[in-house]
């Protein structure tokens, strides 16, 4: 543990977590690392509050307001109602909602991600890797910030099938009917999560994409217990790097680069003298807000170099608008 640097800038940046801890190896942690980076590199002061349950959201936001935070970041779709109320009641303070929206308060900035874009590439890669040509995905909760990943993944896998005149099946999510497999929460590596993963493997899936925070222990156990040569695709962070204990199963990760967004927003206001606006920040493939991590453990029939060349071509198509990752 290194001591926090002495603050050199009179600016207090704060964050309130979604359910789960700051070390969830997923979206809470990504935001917290953005705060820590801002403290270390910019010299701002930071404060935070962890939410154990949804009942903590409003009191935790109020605690940040009471501390006089210049900026308070509410992490996750589930805090959107509470942060809108807080922003409207405290017009002199600034707020950020990650995966949320503003009901009109100009002091509330939404930070969103086109995760369908990187997930489309992940789905294409999953289908290329799969020997069964059955790939799976499941979510924490059925909310837009989760299903956006799953829909992109679905259409990416279908695109591989169309390109190779091969039937590909995606289990766990059907964008047409908006039905699929969901844990019901974001509790890490729960029994429910492992049961869903095992069921998808039983249905033939040999590449799984769990979109629910840290479910990588549950998936790796399900793969191991089934005795298959399976892979998983990480979400939010580069899981092979941040959770090396799972690296042997990781094919790639669909990164949601929240650390960067948090740092950039704080820097623009606290250091560069910018004016806070309620304009939406949207992370895309084009601006580097989302991306695929390096490919590892690939053993598909098509050479990896050829698959990577195709993924680069698909990325260019998504950026120029000629490919719609939402079908």
Could you tell me which residues come within 8 angstroms of residue 231 by beta carbon, excluding any fewer than 6 positions away?
Answer: 126, 129, 206, 207, 208, 223, 249, 250, 251, 297
Q: What is the mean pLDDT of residues 217-225?
A: 99
Same domain, 208 and 89: no
User: How many domains, in total, are found in the chain?
Assistant: 2
Cβ contact 70:38 at 8 Å: no
Site of tokens 């729960």: 190
Same domain, 209 and 301: yes
Same domain, 163 and 151: yes
Same domain, 158 and 190: yes
292 found inside a domain: no
What was the pLDDT predicted at 275? 94
Same domain, 88 and 216: no
86 found inside a domain: yes
Same domain, 120 and 149: yes
Predicted confidence (pLDDT) at residue 307 exceeds the cutoff of 90? yes
Same domain, 203 and 217: yes
Determine the structural domain holding residue 175 and report its residue range.
115-256+297-320
Same domain, 100 and 179: no
97: CATH: 3.40.50.2300
* Torsion angle defined by CA atoms of residues 70, 76, 77 and 82, in that order, rounded to the nearest 10 degrees: -40
Run of H or E residues at 75: strand 71-75
Same domain, 127 and 229: yes
Cβ contact 297:231 at 8 Å: yes
- pTM score, whole prediction: 0.91
3 found inside a domain: no
For residue 143, give both structure tokens: 């909310």
Cβ contact 190:144 at 8 Å: no
What was the pLDDT predicted at 70? 98
Same domain, 164 and 179: yes
Predicted confidence (pLDDT) at residue 5 exceeds the cutoff of 70? no
Predicted confidence (pLDDT) at residue 3 exceeds the cutoff of 60? no
CA 35 vs CA 38, 41, 101, 118, 261: distances in Å: 5, 10, 21, 25, 10
């Amino acid at each position: 543990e290194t001591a926090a640097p002495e603050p050199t800038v009179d600016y207090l940046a704060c964050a309130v977590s979604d359910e789960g801890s700051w070390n969830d190896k997923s979206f809470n942690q990504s935001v917290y690392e953005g705060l820590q980076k801002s403290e270390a590199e910019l010299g701002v002061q930071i404060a935070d509050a962890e939410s154990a349950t949804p009942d903590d959201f409003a009191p935790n936001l109020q605690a940040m307001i009471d501390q006089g935070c210049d900026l308070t970041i509410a992490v996750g779709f589930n805090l959107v109602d509470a942060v809108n109320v807080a922003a409207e009641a405290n017009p002199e303070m600034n707020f950020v909602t990650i995966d949320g929206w503003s009901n009109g308060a100009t002091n509330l900035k939404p930070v969103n991600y086109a995760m369908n874009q990187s997930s489309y590439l992940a789905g294409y890669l999953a289908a290329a890797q799969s020997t069964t040509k059955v790939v799976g995905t499941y979510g924490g909760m059925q909310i837009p910030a989760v299903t956006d990943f799953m829909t992109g993944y679905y259409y990416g896998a279908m695109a591989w099938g169309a390109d190779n005149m091969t039937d590909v099946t995606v289990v766990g999510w059907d964008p047409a009917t908006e039905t699929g497999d969901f844990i019901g929460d974001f509790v890490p590596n729960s029994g429910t999560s492992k049961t869903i993963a095992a069921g998808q493997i039983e249905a033939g899936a040999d590449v799984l994409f769990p979109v629910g925070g840290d479910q990588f222990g549950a998936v790796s156990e399900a793969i191991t217990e089934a005795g298959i040569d399976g892979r998983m695709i990480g979400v939010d962070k580069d899981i092979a790097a941040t959770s090396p204990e799972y690296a042997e199963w990781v094919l790639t990760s669909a990164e949601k680069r929240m650390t960067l967004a948090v740092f950039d927003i704080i820097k623009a206001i606290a250091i560069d003298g910018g004016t806070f606006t309620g304009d939406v920040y949207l992370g895309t493939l084009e601006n580097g807000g989302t991306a695929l991590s390096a490919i590892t453990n690939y053993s598909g029939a098509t050479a990896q170099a050829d698959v990577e060349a195709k993924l680069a071509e698909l990325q260019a198509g998504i950026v120029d608008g000629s490919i719609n990752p939402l079908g």
